Each structure stands twice: as C-alpha cells, then as structure tokens.
Chains A and B, each alone.
Chain A
Amino acid sequence: MTSLRTRRRRTAPRTPIPIVVLAVIAVVFFALPLLALLQRVPWSDVGDLFTASAPREALLLSLLTSVIATTCALVLGLPLAWVLARTQLPGRHVIRAVCTLTMVLPPVVAGVALLAALGRRGLIGASLNDWFGIRLPFTTPAVVIAQVFVAMPFLVLTVESALHSTDRTVEDAARTLGASPWTVIRRVTLPAVRPAILSGLVLTWARALGEFGATVTFAGNFPGTTRTLPVATYLALESDVDQAVLMSVLLMVVSFVVLVSMRDRWTGAIGGRR
C-alpha cells in the first residue's frame, strides 16, 4: 500500500491542469459566499455577541445537543453499519435505504415525520403521553432526536463503506486463531475502520450542529430548551440582520475550529499507528 502510493506520486509529479482548474473553481465556490459573509460582519458589535445572553445560550444548547446526538448516532449507528456490511440479512438494501432516507428528505419533512411518530397525537407519542405522561415535542431531548434522525446516516454510510473495503481475511485469520466474534469486532474490525468512524462522527456532528428544519418542526423554538444556534440565527434574520450575521459566523468559527483540529488529530493517530 505504502509503496504503491509513493510510486504513484513519483510517476505523476504534476497535477493535470483540468483538475487544478476545476478544483480552484470548487474552492472559490465554497470560499466566496463564506468570505462575503465575513465581509458583512459588523465587527464593532462582536463584543455584544458575547455579552448578550441569547446567542451564548443558543450556542451552548447547540453544542450540548449536537454532542449528545453524535454519541447516540455512534451507539446506534455502528451496529447498524456492521449489520449492513457484514451480514447476509435479507432485505438489507431496503433497510439501508430506509435508514439513510433522512439524508435526502427535506429536514422539515423529517420533523413532520417525527411529530407523526412521537408527537402528542403521534403513533407512539400518543401512548407515551397517555401511559407515562411523556411529551417529547418542545423539549431538549426532542432537539437531540431530530438531530440524530437527520445526522446518523452520515455515520452509518461512512462506516459501512469502510467495512466493505477492509480486508476480511484478517478477520477470518483471527477467528481461526480462536478469537470470539465479539473479540474479532473489538480487536480487528473496529481498529481497521477507525478513521472512517472518526470522519463519520465529525460529519454527523457537523450535520447535527447545523440542523434547523427538523428541529424547529419537531422541537419548536423556546429560548434555553429548544432554540439552537441555527434557529436563533434564522429568527434574528427576521429582525436584526447584523445579529444574524454575527451568529452565523460564530457557528462557522466553532465548526471550522473543530473540523480542522479533528482532522489533524485523526490523521496523526493513523500515522502513529503505521
């Protein structure tokens, strides 16, 4: 693997021009709107952003819920990815499609679906309400549920495709050497797809952090309990565009810092492994 890589690098010292041109267009496509947003930031008001309680409250709620949602996605998504990749379960193509549908669904529709299932009159929600007095909509757990619902597919798909491309003979070898199925998963399979798990986690977290439509539809909007930073930003857009720009930049900066630092951490970890 390593030798192949170095050889490829040697035979293609120059990147083909079409690739460079198109890649530059792609970078400009991403960077231009973000820079334009930065250029609109009322820098003199930046201080207010941190003294005002509303944006801080929304940011903390966003961070809290997105981290919990990512954890939930890991706990549920990892086994799902393994089942999809490693078993001969009949109809697993259908299962995969169902479990990743929320990626393409308009988020507001995802929110409506959650209401239909877990709302006060929902399929299960009605019983939860009648039997236990549990009402999920308009609560912080509802925010987490909405985020898991739309973000978990990113983890499942990333890990599943990594599981497909790993060398299964190593797992077979471990098994013939007497390792139990559980040990094989823990000591062979999971370490092999570790980078995919990490990148899947970051994708999931980023999607959860930016989640708006499903959250506002299923969980509503109340300061401190369900008003996440994207919801607060959207509302600020209605009344105070400067505030909205500041909050979106805040969201961008937080995501940017996390994405960059995570990237370094996990590539470093892989390098250390080899």
Chain B
Amino acid sequence: MIDRQRRTPRRVCFASPWRALVAGLCAIGLLGSCSSDDTTLTVFAASSLTDALDDIIAEHVAAGGPPIRVSYAGSSTLAAQIIDGAPADVFISANPEQMDAVTTVIDGHGAPVTIAHNSLVIAVERDNPLGITGLADLERPDLLIAIAAPEVPAGDYARRALDAAGVVFTPTTFETDVRAVVTRVALGEVDAGIVYASDIAGRDTTDDDTAAVAAVPLGHPDAAGITAEYPALALDATNAAAVDFVAFLGGPIATAAMAARGFGPP
C-alpha cells in the first residue's frame, strides 16, 4: 500500500482531485435538477386532509387537471417551509393563523378560500366500552387521555373546547400531531382523545381491529361550536393552474368529497 503510493506518478495525483471535484459538482447539479417538470402542481396540505385531498385530486385529474403532488405535514411545519422558500404552488392550512403567517410574508399570492370545516369529537375505542358520553366524562380519574399538544392546531382547538365546556383534567400525553392521538386510542394505549371528526370518519366500521375507533360528540353546545377552518391559497396569483385548483377545492365536487371524509361544508 505504502509502496504503491510512492510509485504513483505525481501527475495522476493532481488529475484525480479535479476528477473527483467535477464528479462531485455533477452530483450536486443532478440533485438540484431533480425537481419535477413545470406542469406538475405542488400542494402543501395539512395532514388531516390526507384522505379527502387524495380523493379530490383524483377527481381534479379525471376532470383534465394537471398532475399534482402533495406534501402532507402539520400546518405550522408547512407554513415555515413555505416562508423559507419551499417550492409550493398551493397551501392548504388547518387553521387561519398559519395561513396568515404565510400571506403576510409572501408577495403576489391569490385570495385565500375557505374550503371546509372540521369539528372536534372524542375518539374512543370501538363500542365505547368505558361509556364515555361527552367532554364532562373526561374528568373521570380512571381514564388515560391523549390530546394534541397546544402548539399544534388540533391541540389548540381541543384546549379551547375544554375551556368552553369548563372541563379540567391532566392528559396522559400531548401528542405532536392529531393522527398520533387517533393511533393511541386505536392501539388501546389511552382510553380517549380529542380529535377532528375527519380523523374518525370510516374508522368505526373498519374490519381492522387495530385501526378501529369510534366518535363520541363533545356533548356541550359551546364546545361544539369550536371548529377548525381550512383555508386554501394559490401562492402565486399568476399561476393559472394553482388558482384553478383552489377554485376547484371550493367547489361542489370537492365539498362532497370532503363531506364523505367527515368534513363540514365551507
């Protein structure tokens, strides 16, 4: 090894770093050009929309719309990514606050359109073995309860609903997103959780025992009035495809698809 190195002509020693450098730069260039072509619409959407939006996109594409790729994450994560320059064409937030955060920073955006509402429900195990009938029951000391952390929208709404109902308890865990709350209940790790109605839709009738959860209404008029609002926005008002898609999201086909997934009308 040592000997071979010594015999290597110096010329090669100089040539190879350049070759390596060029190869490296080529690799970086390839990575950079890896984004998709111009016609594909990039949508950043709150993760609670996952199932509904997949349905809507299928309808939109069937109606002759452009191909769409979606990045699902928490609204605040998406807002931060957009503000940092992520290449999104459309943003759908699970709350107006994150939409405001984006519209105050980004120039030249379209008009935000409210496309749906989402009410809160109590997620319990299928058949509700513990007989939970409303928010007031969550004060029972024998219950393990998960709610979303107050930093994420679902947690903020849950806290507002609990305040409105005057219900006080210590949750077992503050989940980092609302789907994790549903999973906790489905796995039986907790007895109840406060989630969006859309998170439960279809899951009370599923054959899959590990995914089965049922919804219990909040059972308090003031708390029931607290719903999540979903605004959609074309980030560039001159991008016709993005503006069209936002209009489609506010239209009857999308509203029906949303309703089938447990969302309320806009």
Contact = CB atoms under 8 A, between A and B. Distances in A.
Interface of A: 8, 11-12, 16-18, 20-22, 25, 115, 119-121, 137-138, 216-217, 220-222, 226-227, 231, 234-239, 241
A220 B173 contact: yes
Interface string B3-38: 001100000011011001100100000000000000
A238 B152 contact: yes
Contact of B189 (A18, A21, A115, A222): A115
Contacts of B5: 12, 16
Interface in B169-192: 171-176, 180, 184, 187-189
Given A235-B151, A238-B152, 5 more contacts: A20-B17, A21-B21, A22-B24, A222-B171, A226-B173
Nearest to B174: A221
Contacts of A220: 146, 172-175, 184
Contacts, number: 79
B80 A241 contact: yes
A interface: dominant SS: helix
14 contacts: A17-B16, A17-B17, A21-B20, A120-B189, A121-B187, A138-B172, A138-B173, A217-B180, A220-B184, A235-B152, A235-B176, A239-B76, A239-B151, A241-B80
Contact of A221 (B2, B17, B176, B187): B176
B13 A17 contact: yes
Contacts of A121: 187-189
B250 to A, nearest CB: 27
Contacts of B14: 17
Given A226-B173, A234-B176, A238-B152, A115 B76 contact: no
Interface of B: 2, 5-6, 13-14, 16-17, 20-21, 24, 74, 76-77, 80, 144, 146, 149, 151-152, 171-176, 180, 184, 187-189
B72 to A, nearest CB: 15
B18 to A, nearest CB: 9
B146 A18 contact: no
A20 B183 CA distance: 49
Given A18-B20, A115-B189, A239-B151, A221 B13 contact: no
B59 to A, nearest CB: 31
Residue among A20, A137, A231 with the highest chain B CB neighbour number at 10 A:
A137
Contacts of B176: 216, 221, 231, 234-235, 238
Residue among A220, A222, A237, A241 with the highest chain B CB neighbour number at 10 A:
A220
A115 B21 contact: no
A237 B77 contact: yes
Contacts of A25: 24
A16 B21 CA distance: 14
B149 A238 contact: yes
A25 B14 CA distance: 17
Contacts of B20: 18, 21-22
A238 B151 contact: yes
Contacts of A239: 76, 151
B2 A12 contact: yes
B188 A237 contact: no
B11 to A, nearest CB: 12
A120 B188 contact: yes
A137 B189 contact: yes
Contacts of B76: 237-239
Contacts of B149: 221, 235, 238
A239 B16 CA distance: 49
B183 to A, nearest CB: 9
Given A18-B16, A18-B17, A25-B24, A8 B2 contact: yes
Contact of A222 (B74, B77, B174): B174
A222 B149 CA distance: 9
B187 A119 contact: yes
A18 B149 CA distance: 50
A220 to B, nearest CB: 3
A17 B74 CA distance: 46
Nearest to B15: A18
B150 to A, nearest CB: 8
B172 A222 contact: yes
A238 B77 contact: yes
B151 A236 contact: yes
A22 B25 CA distance: 12
Nearest to A21: B17
Contacts of A235: 149, 151-152, 174, 176
